[in-house]
A = this chain, B = another copy of it.
Amino acid sequence: MNCRSQKCVEALRYLSKEEAVAMETELLRDYHFGRQQLTEILGNACATAITKVFPLWSLEKRQPTVLVVCGPDQNGCVGLACARHLHVFEYIPTVFTPKRSSDSLHQDLMVQCERMDLPFLSYLPTELINEAYNLVVDAVLGPETEPLSVGEPFTGVLQTLRGLKVPIVSLDIPSGWDADESSSDGISPALLVSLMAPKRCALSFPGSHFLAGRFLPFDLQRKYDLNLPKFSGTESVVQL
């Protein structure tokens, strides 16, 4: 890992929760990136990752339905942008938001989905999900969440997700996991799309794993020793 020869490919680094929060703070405070800007480009990249692992032609249901479950915070914002881009990519996304958000960015992203005629679910029954949707996007909770502090309505939602037969796509981390360690009794996504850098909990992640966030400044990549793999062409995601 300390090898500095040009031929030596250094290992990808998995960030701790503190590092992930610190890096995002720098991006917003020092680089003057905006949350709206990051959310849009990350949501687009997450939808693109989904098209790679679950292309339209591979879906089993008669319609290319996807349920996107969006929490009230930043992870849910990326989920809402992802749902909208899935719609543009000709999937049929339905949105479920277990809790109203007081965040104006979240509210604007909701209006965009509503005005673009994306349907919203008002409840989340396991049987209906398995029957009606090809996959479920989990954008409920992000790495800043303390798993022990998670209460209702999220514990109920996570329990429902754990009981599903259809594949789950988690954005950034699987909701309910501690960002610093993997979980054996939490939800078990088929696809994980890490945002900007993978978190420690994904170190031995067994499913498909993609990285979104190609815009990350090279200086920050170096500062956090990320050793990200090369994105090809103009691709917004890369498989890890």
Residues of A bordering B, CB below 8 Å:
30-34, 36-37, 39-41, 44, 47-48, 51, 84-85, 88-89, 105, 107-109, 111-112, 115-117, 214-215, 217-219, 233-234, 236
Given contacts A32-B112, A34-B36, A112-B32, contact A234 B117 (CB under 8 A): no
A116 to chain B: closest residue by CB: B217
CB atoms of A234 and B31 under 8 A apart: no
Contact A32/B111 with A40-B41, A44-B41, A234-B51 known, Cβ cut-off 8 Å: yes
Pairs across A and B, CB under 8 Å, 7 listed:
A31-B115, A32-B115, A33-B108, A36-B36, A115-B217, A115-B219, A116-B219
Q: Using Cβ atoms and an 8 Å threshold, which residues of chain B touch A217?
A: 115-116
Instruction: Output the least CB separation between A239 and chain B (Å).
Output: 15
Quote the shortest CB–CB distance from A195 to chain B (angstroms). Answer: 15
Chain B residue with Cβ nearest A30:
B115
Given the complex, which residues of B lie within 8 Å of A107, measured CB to CB? 32
Copy total for this chain: 2
Whether A33 pairs with B233 at a CB distance below 8 angstroms is: no
Please indicate the chain B residues that have their CB under 8 angstroms from the CB of A34 in the complex. Answer: 36, 105, 108
Shortest Cβ distance from residue A238 to the other chain B in the assembled complex, whole angstroms: 13
Beta-carbon contact of A234 and B40 below 8 Å: no
Which A-B residue pairs are the 10 nearest by beta carbons? A32-B111, A32-B108, A37-B40, A36-B36, A34-B36, A36-B37, A48-B234, A116-B217, A31-B115, A51-B234
Q: How far is the CA of A183 from the CA of B30 in the complex (A)?
A: 42
Q: Kindly state the separation between the CA atoms of A47 and B47 in the bound complex, as whole angstroms.
A: 20
Q: Chain B residues near A219 (CB, 8 Å)?
A: 115-117
Query: How far is the CB of A212 from the nearest CB of chain B, in Å?
Result: 12
With A and B bound together, what is the CA distance between A111 and B39 in angstroms? Answer: 19
A111 cross-chain contacts in B, Cβ below 8 A? 31-32
CA distance A31 to B44 in the complex (A): 18
Whether A215 and B115, one on each chain, are in contact in the complex, defined by CB atoms closer than 8 angstroms, is no
